[in-house]
C-alpha cells in the first residue's frame, strides 16, 4: 500500500483542493523531526497499553514496527511522498503499511497538536546540546589564543577610539565570557522546558491517555505540562530558543567585526590562515575575511527570525492555531545557519596569527596612557577632579606640539602644571599601566591568567551538558525480557 494516510476529513464531502494541499503540506525540512515523532509514538503506545487500548502483544508489535521504521527512515530506504501532508501523516502511513488496522490504533487519545508540540520540545532540547558543542569549540579556540597572549599588550577602545592599554588575552576573553552566558542560556532553556506536552491531545487532555506524567518520564522529561491548553498553544520555548541563537550570532558578530578591521592592511594586527579566508576573482592580491563577514551577515537573518516569529505569536488566541506551524520555518533556518557558522568560526579563531610587535607599537598611541597621569596625580594627593583637568592640559600640550605622551620631557612638566613632577614620566609606561590593574577581572597579566583558569573550570560543566543525552524510549527487546515490560 503506497497511498498516503490522511488524519482528518471524515466530515468532508470532498478532499482538499490542490491549492489547499500545496499550502498545507509541510516543507521537506520538517521531516527531520522523525526521531522525535517516533519517540513520542513509543511513549504513547505505552499509554495505550496502560489504558487497555493495546494488549501486550499489540504493544510489542507496534513498538517493534516503530523501531524498524526509524531505522528505515534513518537509512533513507523510506522517504516521504508528495502526498504526505506532514511528519505525522508520513509515519502513520508507514506504520499502517506494515501493520494494517493495528497501526491505526495508535492514533487513539492523541492529536497532532500535542504531537507537534512534543516533537519541537524534544528536538530543541537535543539541539541545545548539539549547538552547545559548536559554541564550545569556539570557546576553546578563544581560550587557546588568550592563553598565548596573556602578556601581549594592545590598545583597548571605547567609542572606537583608543582608550587604555589592555592585554590581548583579556580582550579575547571578553568575547569568551559573552559566549559562556549563551551556553548557560541553553542549559537554562533545557531546564525551563523540561515538561512534556504529550497527553494534552487537542487542548483539553485525553479521555484515553490519562497518565501523561508517566509518558513524560519515558520521554526523558522531569514531568508533564501543568495545563493542557498551554501545552499545545505555547511557543515561548521556540521564541526563547530563537533568541538564544540570535544572541550567539551577535556574540560572534562582534568579534567578526573586529577581525575584519584587524585583518585589514590599514591595521595589520592579525593574519588570517589561508584555509579560513578567500580571494578575489579579479584582484589576485586579496585575502578576504569571508567567515567573519558571512557570520556578520547571517546574524541579521537570525535576528529577523526571532522578530518575525514574535510577530506571529502576537495576539494568538488560545488554544492551537495553524499559524504556529511557522515556528519550524524560523527554527530550522536559524539552527541550520548556526551549524554552518560555528565550525568555520572556531577554525578561523584558532588559526589567527597576531602581530605582537605591531599591537605593542599601537598600544600607547592616541594617549592611551593619559589615565596613568591622572592616577599618578591622585597618588600625590591631588583631588581627581583637578587631576583630570591637569591631564587634559597634558594631552593638549602634546597635541599642540605634534607628539604623544612619549614625547614629554622633564622640562615640559612645570610649563603645564607645577604639580607635575618627574616621577610622572615613570608612571606612563605600558608595563606600569597593565601591572596597576590588579582588581578582580582586570587586565593585568596575572589577573588574566586567573580568569582563564576559572573560565576553563566553568566550561567543563557546560561540556557536561553538551555531552549529555535525553533518555528517549528506544528499541524494545524480545517479549519476556526485562525491557519488554518497560
The pLDDT of residue 311 is above 80: yes
Q: Please tell me the predicted confidence (pLDDT) of residue 151.
A: 97
Average pLDDT rounded to a whole number, residues 343-352: 98
**What residues are labeled active site?**
159, 280
The pLDDT of residue 476 is above 70: no
Q: Which residues contact 213 (CB under 8 A, 6 or more apart)?
A: 223, 224
Cell numbers placing 191: 531546564
The pLDDT of residue 478 is above 50: no
Q: Tell me the C-alpha distance between 396 and 402, whole Å.
A: 10
β-strand pairing of 195-196 with 223-224: parallel
- Residue labelled with grid coordinates 531505522: 71
Average pLDDT rounded to a whole number, residues 63-72: 97
Burial of 4 (0-12, 13-18, 19+ CB in 10 A): middle
The pLDDT of residue 160 is above 90: yes
What kind of architecture, by CATH, is found in domain 18-108?
A: Orthogonal Bundle (1.10)
Phi, psi (rounded to 5 degrees) for 418:
-65, -20
The pLDDT of residue 455 is above 70: yes
Q: Which residues contact 178 (CB under 8 A, 6 or more apart)?
A: 251, 254
The model's pTM: 0.91
pLDDT digits (tens, 9 = 90+) for 172-201: 999 999 999 999 999 999 999 999 999 999
Mean of the per-residue pLDDT values of the chain: 93
Q: Please tell me the predicted confidence (pLDDT) of residue 280.
A: 78
Of 294, 288, 268, 290, residue with least CA distance to 353:
268
285 falls in which pLDDT band (50, 70, 90)? confident
pLDDT digits (tens, 9 = 90+) for 113-148: 999 999 999 999 999 999 999 999 999 999 999 999
Q: Tell me the C-alpha distance between 219 and 241, whole Å.
A: 20
β-strand pairing of 153-158 with 223-224: unpaired
The pLDDT of residue 25 is above 90: no
- The CATH code for residues 113-362+456-467 is 1.20.200.10
Q: Tell me the C-alpha distance between 396 and 308, whole Å.
A: 50
Residue 13 is classified by DSSP as S
Q: Tell me the C-alpha distance between 192 and 375, whole Å.
A: 47
- Residue labelled with grid coordinates 527512515: 73
Q: Tell me the C-alpha distance between 269 and 262, whole Å.
A: 5
Q: Please tell me the predicted confidence (pLDDT) of residue 12.
A: 65
Q: Tell me the C-alpha distance between 106 and 210, whole Å.
A: 15
The pLDDT of residue 23 is above 80: no
Q: Tell me the C-alpha distance between 300 and 278, whole Å.
A: 22
pLDDT digits (tens, 9 = 90+) for 232-250: 999 999 999 999 999 999 9
The pLDDT of residue 283 is above 50: yes
pLDDT digits (tens, 9 = 90+) for 362-415: 999 999 999 999 999 999 999 999 999 999 999 999 999 999 999 999 999 999
**Got the DSSP string for 331-398?**
HHHHHHHHHHHHHHHHHHHHT-EE-HHHHHHHTTTTTTTHHHHHHHHHHTT--HHHHHHHHHHHHHHH
Q: Please tell me the predicted confidence (pLDDT) of residue 1.
A: 41
The pLDDT of residue 481 is above 50: no
Size of the chain, expressed as the number of residues it contains: 486
19 falls in which pLDDT band (50, 70, 90)? confident
Cell numbers placing 49: 497499553
What kind of architecture, by CATH, is found in domain 370-428?
A: Orthogonal Bundle (1.10)
Provide the residue ranges of all domains of the chain, joining segments of one domain with +: 18-108, 113-362+456-467, 370-428
Amino acid at each position: 500500500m503506497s497511498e498516503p494516510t490522511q488524519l482528518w476529513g471524515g466530515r468532508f464531502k470532498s478532499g482538499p483542493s490542490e491549492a489547499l494541499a500545496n499550502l498545507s503540506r509541510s516543507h521537506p525540512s520538517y521531516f527531520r523531526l522523525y526521531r522525535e515523532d517516533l519517540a513520542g509514538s513509543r511513549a504513547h503506545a505505552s499509554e495505550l497499553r496502560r489504558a487497555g487500548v493495546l494488549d501486550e502483544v499489540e504493544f510489542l508489535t507496534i513498538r517493534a514496527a516503530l523501531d524498524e521504521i526509524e531505522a528505515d527512515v534513518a537509512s533513507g530506504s523510506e522517504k516521504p511522498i508528495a502526498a504526505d501532508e506532514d511528519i505525522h501523516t508520513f509515519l502513520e502511513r508507514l506504520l499502517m503499511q506494515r501493520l494494517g488496522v493495528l497501526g491505526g490504533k495508535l492514533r487513539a487519545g492523541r492529536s497532532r497538536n500535542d504531537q507537534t508540540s512534543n516533537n519541537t520540545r524534544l528536538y530543541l532540547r537535543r539541539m541545545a546540546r548539539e549547538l552547545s558543542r559548536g559554541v564550545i569549540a569556539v570557546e576553546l579556540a578563544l581560550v587557546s589564543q588568550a592563553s598565548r597572549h596573556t602578556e601581549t599588550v594592545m590598545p583597548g577602545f571605547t567609542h572606537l577610539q583608543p582608550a587604555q592599554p589592555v592585554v590581548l588575552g583579556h580582550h579575547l576573553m571578553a568575547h569568551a565570557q559573552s559566549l559562556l552566558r549563551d551556553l548557560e542560556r541553553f542549559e537554562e532553556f533545557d531546564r525551563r522546558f523540561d515538561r512534556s506536552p504529550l497527553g494534552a491531545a487537542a487542548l483539553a487532555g485525553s479521555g484515553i491517555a490519562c497518565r501523561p506524567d508517566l509518558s513524560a518520564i519515558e520521554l526523558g522529561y522531569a514531568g508533564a505540562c501543568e495545563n493542557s491548553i498551554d501545552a499545545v498553544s505555547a511557543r515561548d520555548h521556540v521564541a526563547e530558543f530563537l533568541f538564544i541563537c540570535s544572541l550567539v550570532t551577535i556574540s560572534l558578530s562582534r568579534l567578526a567585526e573586529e577581525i575584519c578591521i584587524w585583518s585589514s592592511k590599514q591595521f595589520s594586527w592579525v593574519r588570517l590562515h589561508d584555509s579560513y579566508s578567500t580571494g578575489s576573482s579579479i584582484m589576485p592580491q586579496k585575502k578576504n575575511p569571508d567567515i567573519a563577514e558571512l557570520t556578520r551577515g547571517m546574524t541579521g537573518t537570525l535576528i529577523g527570525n526571532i522578530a518575525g516569529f514574535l510577530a506571529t505569536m502576537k495576539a494568538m488566541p488560545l488554544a492551537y492555531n495553524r499559524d504556529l506551524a511557522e515556528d519550524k520555518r524560523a527554527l530550522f533556518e536559524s539552527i541550520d545557519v548556526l551549524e554552518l557558522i560555528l565550525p568555520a568560526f572556531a577554525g578561523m579563531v584558532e588559526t589567527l596569527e597576531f602581530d605582537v610587535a605591531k599591537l605593542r607599537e599601537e598600544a600607547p598611541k592616541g594617549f592611551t596612557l593619559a589615565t596613568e597621569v591622572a592616577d599618578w596625580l591622585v597618588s600625590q594627593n591631588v583631588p581627581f577632579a583637578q587631576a583630570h583637568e591637569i591631564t587634559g592640559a597634558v594631552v593638549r600640550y602634546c597635541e599642540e606640539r605634534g607628539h604623544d605622551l612619549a614625547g614629554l620631557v622633564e622640562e615640559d612638566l612645570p610649563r603645564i602644571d607645577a604639580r607635575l613632577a618627574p616621577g610622572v614620566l615613570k608612571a606612563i609606561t605600558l608595563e606600569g599601566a597593565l601591572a596597576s590593574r590588579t582588581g578582580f577581572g582586570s587586565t593585568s597579566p596575572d589577573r588574566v591568567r586567573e580568569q582563564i583558569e576559572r573560565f576553563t573550570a566553568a566550561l567543563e560543566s557546560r561540556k557536561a551538558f553538551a555531552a549529555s543525552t535525553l533518555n528517549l524510549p528506544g528499541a524494545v527487546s524480545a517479549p519476556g525480557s526485562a525491557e519488554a515490560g518497560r
